[in-house]
Amino acid sequence: MNLFAALNWRRALMIVGTLLVAFASGHVMQSLAVNNTPLVNTGIAPDAAPLLRRAGEPPELPVPPAATLTPILQTPPSLRDRVTRDQPAPLLPRDEARLVPLGAPCRAELVTTAKPAGIIGLTISAPCWPSSPVHIRHSGLNITETLDAQGRLSIDLPALSPVARIEVAYPDNTFGHEVLELPEVEALYRVALSWEGTQILTLHALELGAAHGQRGHIYSAHRGTPARTVRGVGGFLTRLGDGTGSVAEIYTYPREDARSRGVVRLSAEAEVTSATCGRVAEASAIQTDALGGLQTSEVVLSMPDCEALGEIVLLKNLFRDLRLAGR
C-alpha cells in the first residue's frame, strides 16, 4: 500500500512536470501565433494551475486515483490504458531508446476481459520487463505476480465490484488501468483476505453444514471450481500472488444457491508453527458491508507463544457468515 502511495506521488510530480512543459510551450506558441487564438488545450489549463501552485509544498498531495481516472474514462476505449500517458515521450527521451529486440517500442499492455463467475481475465504483455514483478490492485486487494521470460502474465482475478477498476504498477513505477463492467458480481458473495510476505492466516468456508475435510470445506488445499458457482451449487477459492510480495485468497459463493437455504460459515485460521509463533499476523479482510459497499478490516493478530506449537487460532468473527436467500 505504501508502494502505491509513493508511486502516486511520483506520478503527481510527473503530471506537474508535464503540465509545466505544456504551459510553457503553450505560452511560447501563443506568443508566436499571428492571432491570439489560444493553442493550449483549455481543458488542461484549469487543472494545471492548482497543481503548479502546490508543487512547492511537502508531499501530501498524492493525486487521488479517482481524479486521475476520470479523464481516462472519457477517452475512447482504444486510448484507455495507455501506460505512455503517464510517461510522455518528449519528456523522457531515454525511453524512446528503450526498444524490445525486434524494434518495437517498450510498451506495456494490459487487457481485461469478463469471464464467467464474475472473473476478470487479466493479461499483461510487457516485453521490456521479462521476469519482473508487477503489482496488481483492485478494490483494496493487492497482488504481486512475476512476469514470465517474455514479460507476459495471464491470471483470473475475481472482481469485488460490478464496476471493477484494475490498476497495475510496472517495475518503472508506471501504471496501467482498466475499468471493466461485470454485472454478474451482483449475484455473488465475495470475501477476500490479503497479506504481504509469509502466509499466516488462511481463509476457510464451510458450505451449508459441511464439516472440516468434507466436500463443502473450501480452502487453499481444496479450492472448488468456478463451475460450481456458475451452476449455483457451491463456491470456490482463488489464490493469487506468487509469494514474492502481496498474496490474496478470494472466496466466491453464488447468492442464488440452486440447492437450499442455510449458511456458509467463514473463518480465518492461523496455525502456530515455529515460523509463526510469537509473531504478529497482519492481513486485510474484505467483505461487503450491510449497505452494499466493501468494508476492509485490518487484522493485527498476536500469535500465541511458541509453547503452543501445533495449535490453531480460529477467527470466527473476522468475516460474517453468508446467509443464503430466505434468511
Residue closer to other proteins (CB basis): 98 or 316 = 316
- The site map against other proteins for 199-218 (x = CB under 8 A) is ---------xx-x-------
Contact pick of 262, 271, 273, 311 for other proteins (by CB under 8 A): 262
Residue 213 Cβ, how far from other proteins at the closest point, in Å?
A: 14
Burial of 142 (0-12, 13-18, 19+ CB in 10 A): buried
Residue 100 grid cell? 524490445
- The site map against other proteins for 306-325 (x = CB under 8 A) is --------xxxxx-xx-x--
Q: Say how far apart CA 263 and CA 25 lie, in whole Å.
A: 63
Q: How far apart, in Å, are the Cα atoms of 38 and each of 46, 77, 192, 229?
A: 14, 28, 51, 57
**Sheet with 109-115: strands ordered across:** 109-115, 119-125, 152-158
The answer to whether 191 and 250 are in contact (CB under 8 A) is yes
Residue 62 Cβ, how far from other proteins at the closest point, in Å?
A: 12
Q: Say how far apart CA 60 and CA 306 lie, in whole Å.
A: 42
Beta-carbon count within 10 A of 322 CB: 24
Helix, strand, or coil here: 206? strand
Residue 103 Cβ, how far from other proteins at the closest point, in Å?
A: 48
Residue closer to other proteins (CB basis): 59 or 243 = 59
Contact pick of 85, 246, 265, 276 for other proteins (by CB under 8 A): 265
Contact pick of 71, 98, 295, 308 for other proteins (by CB under 8 A): 295
Contact pick of 117, 143, 182, 301 for other proteins (by CB under 8 A): 301
Binding site for other proteins (CB under 8 A): 208-209, 211, 260, 262-263, 265, 285, 289-291, 293, 295-302, 314-318, 320-321, 323, 327
